Amino acid sequence: MEEISNGVIIWWFSLSTISILNIIIWIFALKKKLPFPKNYDFRIWQLIFSSGFVFGCASRSFILRADVQRFCMIDSWVASVFVGRTIATVAELCFMAQASLYLYEFAKESNSSFAMKLSKIIVPIIAIAETFSWYAVLTTNYIGNVFEESLWGISGAILLIGFITLWPAANSKMHRFLLFIYFFIGSFITFMSTVDVPMYIFRWTSDQLNQQKYLTLSEGLWDASHRWVVTYKWEDWNTEIPWMSLYFSVIVWLSIYLIFAPKFKNKNT
């Protein structure tokens, strides 16, 4: 009989519960009157992009997967890595579109052409990161994840630089909000550089020492679509728990918050 860890089941149930609550909060946001009528299109796009991320993360919480390892918790084709990675790609592009759109809106209001330029390169960087992610998923080579997560860290640094350049033009009330943004993005960069990227480097170097044989892209496409390993073992999931827990909760809350985050206010207003 398959070993079942109570800790893994509780974690899965917790993420699923949080995801249901996230959907309810998003529906509340959908019904709530959007502020700033002059920025109506901007708010609508935030709502659309947020829906992609919120519902994408919810589906991934309900059907948990560890991509390269092919681990999952449901014995069904919907639990295949191919399905999960496709959903994740769309969701992650939506989230970074939210972030870049927010930076662009702030930059436009503060007349910062530099920050506007930075906002336009974030989504292309994440698109490249997604390509590396697919390489890792199909070949089972963690080096793809190393590059993927490194690019996420770089995109965070670009966002941080962009928002920092807006400080001189912002009023005192906006300074408090910018400090929150700096703290959040700084925490994200710290997590990526000290936890996430090192984890994948360790996995890759371990595979190298064990002379791991990788799949070709065509082999990986079939494997990711047709092979899944149902497991509830703690040792199979324990390294996924930290990042998944933060990802499917805190980052989703930020996505919802961006729908109603304050408009940029210049120091003269």
Is 62 contained in some domain? yes
Is 268 contained in some domain? no
Question: What does the alpha-carbon distance between residue 125 and residue 190 come to, in Å, rounded to a whole number?
Answer: 19
Question: What does the alpha-carbon distance between residue 102 and residue 246 come to, in Å, rounded to a whole number?
Answer: 22
The answer to whether the predicted template modeling score (pTM) of the entire model surpasses 0.85 is yes
How confident is the model over 163-187, as pLDDT tens digits?
999 999 888 888 988 999 999 999 9
Q: Are 170 and 266 in contact (CB under 8 A)?
A: yes
Residue 71's domain spans which residues?
A: 6-31+40-257
How confident is the model over 105-163, as pLDDT tens digits?
889 888 899 999 999 999 999 999 999 999 999 999 999 999 999 999 999 999 999 99
Kind and range of the H or E run holding 9:
helix 6-31
Q: Are 61 and 19 in contact (CB under 8 A)?
A: yes
SS3 229: strand
Predicted confidence band of residue 212 (pLDDT cuts 50, 70, 90): very high
- In 3-state terms the chain splits into helix, strand, coil percentages (rounded to 5) of 75, 5, 20
* End-to-end CA gap in the chain: 67
Is 267 contained in some domain? no
Is 266 contained in some domain? no
* Per-residue tokens: 178: 């910018």
**Total domain count for the chain?**
1
Is 50 contained in some domain? yes
Among 14, 122, 132, 117, smallest CA distance to 62 is for 14
